[in-house]
Structure 1
Amino acid sequence: MHDTTHHALQRQRRQVIWGLTLIAFGVAYLLQRDDGDAVVRLWQYWPWVLVAFGVNNMLPPTDGRRFVDGLSQVLFGAWFWITIEGWWGLNFGNSWPLLIIVGGLGMVLQPLAHRYFPRHQEERS
């Protein structure tokens, strides 16, 4: 697959994800328009936008860097969701070291991912 085709597919998928996100928020606001508190509570779901974009980066066609970046976005969105919800007693103040772990994991996985996604590396050379 040519690099221009790869970028075109990525751009189209990004546009679809943004469109679906806007549709979902618009429908949610429309359904809750009489309840101001419900509209405010909808914003607690914004980490799922990060997860959606991360999954988009992980889907083929992709390369090693985009896959690891997508995985990092998914983990970052999950961290936000978990801390907003307060699961397992985690909050922003006591769980920030998890972000350091995600950063280190990304650095470790980057070279490994390039082994499993060599096709796009070779095309760029």
Structure 2
Amino acid sequence: MSKKMESRSQLLWGLIVVAVGVLLLTDIQVPPIGMWWRYWPFLAMAFGALKLIPPTTPRHVVDGLCHIAFAGWFYVSFEHLWGLTFHNSWPILVIIAGICMLAQPVVIKYTADKEEK
């Protein structure tokens, strides 16, 4: 793992630990652990955002945005927002995967062309 990725990972986990500590310190009523499972896509979104801060390569930008899109789809499907469920929205996941596969070489080529000029 590169130094940049290691520091990003440490930054994310540090923020998560601090947030949990602040929640525990405030003495608010914390929902049972079983209710927390439905918010795991936000953790995946955080990992995606971590690749965007600061973007070191075009690949990190595309990967970060794809992580956020996948996590967003999972959250919408879990919560049945806008009437979407896993059963009726799985083609959206296929479309997201295709867009991610297409975007990476296009973005890399575009940024390589810009750097050559």
The TM-score range, normalised by the shorter chain, is 0.7 to 0.9
How far the C-alpha of 1:28 sits from its partner, in A, is: 4.4
Which residue among 81, 87, 109 is the counterpart of 2:103?
A: 109
Aligned match of 2:16:
21
Shift of 1:116: 4.9
2:35 matches 1:41 = yes
Contact 1:54 1:70 (C-alpha < 8 Å) held by counterparts? yes
The separation in 1 between residues aligned to 2:74 and 2:21, in whole angstroms, is: 22
Q: Percent of counterpart pairs with the same letter? A: 39
1:51 and 2:48 equivalent?
A: no
Relative contact order, higher structure (CA 8 A, sep 6+) = 1
Say whether residues 1:77 and 2:43 are aligned partners. no
2:77 counterpart SS class: helix
Q: Secondary structure at the match of 1:60?
A: coil
Unaligned runs of 5+ in 1: 119-125
- Aligned-residue CA RMSD in angstroms? 2.5
Distance across 1 between alignment mates of 2:90 and 2:9 = 28
TM-score (norm 2): 0.78
Question: How far, CA to CA, are the matches of 1:40 and 1:27 in structure 2?
Answer: 20
Say which SS state the counterpart of residue 56 (structure 2) adopts: coil
Q: Is the 8 A contact 1:67 1:113 kept in 2?
A: no
What's the counterpart of residue 7 of structure 2? 12
**Aligned counterparts of 2:17 and 2:78: Cα–Cα separation in 1:** 21
Per the alignment, in what secondary structure is the counterpart of residue 46 of structure 1?
Answer: helix
Q: Distance in 1 between matches of 2:101 and 2:83?
A: 28
Displacement after TM superposition at 1:103 (Å): 0.9
Q: Which range is displaced more, 17-26 or 73-82?
A: 17-26
Residue 31 of structure 1 deviates from its aligned partner by 3.3
TM-score scaled by structure 1? 0.74
Residue 54 of structure 2 is aligned to residue 60 of structure 1:
yes
